A and B are shown apart, each in its own frame.
Chain A
Amino acid sequence: MAVGVKVVTRPGSLSQQMYLPAIAEGMGVTFKHFVKNFFGNLVGLRKKTDIQTIEYPEETKKYPARHRGLHRLMLRDDGQTRCVACMMCPTVCPAHCITIVPEEAPDGSIEKRPKIFEIDELRCVVCGLCAEACPCDAIRMDTLEHAKPVYKRADAILDREELLSRGAKSVAVQGGVGAFWREKVAAVPQTQPDAAVLPAGPPAGPTPVATFQRKD
């Protein structure tokens, strides 16, 4: 034996050294899996088999409720956009994917509104800062849709109409309630908004009681 070679004697009975019992056992395991999955698949009981595959285009996985998906712009009660073009979201956006060109609202009911509101989904890093920064609950990322593949880069830029098409009315009071908001909110009987307005949030259940207490 050459220098430095250490021969390790492997312990093992004859049946171990013959391999055959172990081979039979191993083939039994694979064959059991094969029979279960094959016949389960054949008679259409895919869900009962061990196969976990999700066949993507036909089947999709349900995203968790807090998944950040495609953006959408929320609506006022009269159907206009809630966005007041305050430029918070393009300012905070780390990827510079939001383009807003403001304009004056024609009827004078509000001061500003976006003339152009574009989000480049190819640049977006899906960080969710825009939705956090928005003071008006105008932009959200709760659609549970991910960016679709496109043939042209230009198609990945979502314009105002497309963002609004996924929008819905928000439960937040436009412009805030103002001073003494706690008393005012307590005075108004709280009604549960209808399901269409609510985003696809966490599963229905008892509403958690707010535990936050301001010390003032």
Chain B
Amino acid sequence: MGYGTLLFSILAGLAKVLFMILAFLMPVASILTWLERRQSSMMQDRLGPNRANIGPFKMWGITHFLADALKFMFKEDFVPPMAHKFLFMWAPVMAMAPALIVAAIVPFGPPLCWGQLFETGATCNQPVPLQIAHLDIGMLFYFAIASLSVYGATLAGWASHNKWAMMGGLRASSQMMSYEVTMGMAVLGSFLVYGSLEPGAIGDFQTHILNFDNYRSSWGIFSQPVGFLLFLTAAIAETKRTPFDIPEGEPEIIGYFVEYSGLRFGLFFLGEFLEIVTSSAIMITLFFGGWHWGPYIDGFLMSHLPNVAFVVVMFTLWAIKVFMFCAFQLLIRWSLPRFRSDQLMQLGWQRLLPLSIANVVATAIIVLWAQM
């Protein structure tokens, strides 16, 4: 590999990182903070936050997230006198960073043909895959990093020197440890089907929405429906949202961030929504075909648009897919009642885990049978 290629890949990687964070993750997560309140109010026959505006531009109050950020910045950054200062100050970062890091393995569009940006349907000489990190261990990386976010919650609870926060932190650790097992088992089925751990490769298998001839080329939800439900449940439990909001427990203990104020609380808040976005993106990759929308849409757009326009359109369609899935997660939150802590553990260990193992076994048998 020459220096030119190395420099090119470094620059392309940097550009992809900046694009992913500044143009997708942060805006979507910020808007979700507003959308959650507005969508839930629409479900409950209320109006919700619709007042914030920039001069005459009101736009249904979408700028509420800017107002919130501004408010957080000007609030007092209070550190309790008995708290462990260092951990207290860094816990929000530890809660938010994994959600950002995990996004590195998500493929978010078809490869960009560098040097052939305006050619239609050409074979790429220098393809730039729209995926920040092409890791062969991809999904294992996801589990490794996503499980780190439990440290944010637990350390925040411990460092606050507050009984309620401590309790919330303990609950967070027990819950996230338990559901991580189910989560891993749930995607084991997908690994067996696709024979790969790399999200980009898994996404590229699912070119057809529903293909009866080849189950591998259908979207993952059709080849792994049980796996999808299990992964979805575990992912919601990982993001610590209702019906699994035991660590936060707003009606009872407020949770591990009870002592936080100002921008540090905002980081927890934003981190939760970032987790929604990244877990949605992972689920889209595993179970909804990544950026693929079936051979007809993909093929038509590819053969009629120049490469750069094709990439932009497919990215937009992928973003819409992810956004719809985020909205679906919000819908779940505002529809379901919460579990009690022991019910949560019972569901995780006695129902979901055996079911996920059964799913793995069944998938293995079917895959083996299909190969024979």
Question: Residues on A close to B: CB < 8 A?
Answer: 20, 23, 26-27, 29-31, 33-34, 37-38, 41, 49-53, 55
Chain A proximity of B183: nearest CB distance (Å):
18
Contact A51 B47, beta carbon cutoff 8 Å: yes
Chain B, range 152-210, C-beta contacts under 8 Å to A:
none
* Option from B46, B47, B229, B331 in Cβ contact (under 8 Å) with A30: B331
Residues in A with CB closer than 8 Å to B47 are 41, 51, 53, 55
The 7 closest A-B pairs by CB, nearest first: A50-B45, A30-B43, A37-B42, A30-B335, A27-B335, A53-B47, A34-B43
Q: Count chain B CB atoms within 10 A of each CB in A38, A51, A55 and give the residue with the most.
A: A51
Residues in A with CB closer than 8 Å to B334 are 30
How far is B60's CA from A37's CA once the two chains are assembled, in angstroms?
13
Chain B proximity of A34: nearest CB distance (Å):
5
How far is B371's CA from A16's CA once the two chains are assembled, in angstroms?
37
Contact A41 B42, beta carbon cutoff 8 Å: yes
Residues in B with CB closer than 8 Å to A29 are 335
Q: Count chain B CB atoms within 10 A of each CB in A20, A30, A52 and give the residue with the most.
A: A30
Per-position 1/0 for B28-50, Cβ under 8 A of A: 00000000000100111111000
- Please, which residue of chain B has its CB at the minimum distance from the CB of A38? B42
Contact B331 A51, beta carbon cutoff 8 Å: no
Contact A27 B42, beta carbon cutoff 8 Å: no
Residues in A with CB closer than 8 Å to B229 are 20
- Please, which residue of chain B has its CB at the minimum distance from the CB of A33? B43
Contact A33 B331, beta carbon cutoff 8 Å: no
Chain A proximity of B144: nearest CB distance (Å):
30
- What are 29 A-B contacts defined by CB distance under 8 Å? A20-B229, A23-B336, A27-B331, A27-B332, A27-B335, A29-B335, A30-B43, A30-B331, A30-B335, A33-B43, A33-B44, A33-B45, A34-B39, A34-B42, A34-B331, A37-B42, A38-B39, A38-B42, A41-B42, A41-B47, A50-B45, A51-B42, A51-B45, A51-B46, A51-B47, A52-B45, A53-B46, A53-B47, A55-B47
- Please, which residue of chain B has its CB at the minimum distance from the CB of A46? B47
Chain B proximity of A182: nearest CB distance (Å):
56
Chain A proximity of B155: nearest CB distance (Å):
33
Per-position 1/0 for B323-361, Cβ under 8 A of A: 000000001101110000000000000000000000000
How far is B42's CA from A37's CA once the two chains are assembled, in angstroms?
6
- Please, which residue of chain B has its CB at the minimum distance from the CB of A35? B42
Q: A33-B43, A37-B43 are in contact. List 16 more A-B contacts (CB 8 A).
A: A20-B229, A26-B335, A26-B336, A29-B335, A31-B43, A31-B331, A33-B42, A34-B42, A34-B43, A34-B331, A37-B45, A49-B45, A51-B46, A52-B45, A53-B46, A55-B47
Residues in A with CB closer than 8 Å to B331 are 27, 30-31, 34
- Please, which residue of chain A has its CB at the minimum distance from the CB of B355? A18
How far is B45's CA from A49's CA once the two chains are assembled, in angstroms?
8
Chain B proximity of A121: nearest CB distance (Å):
28
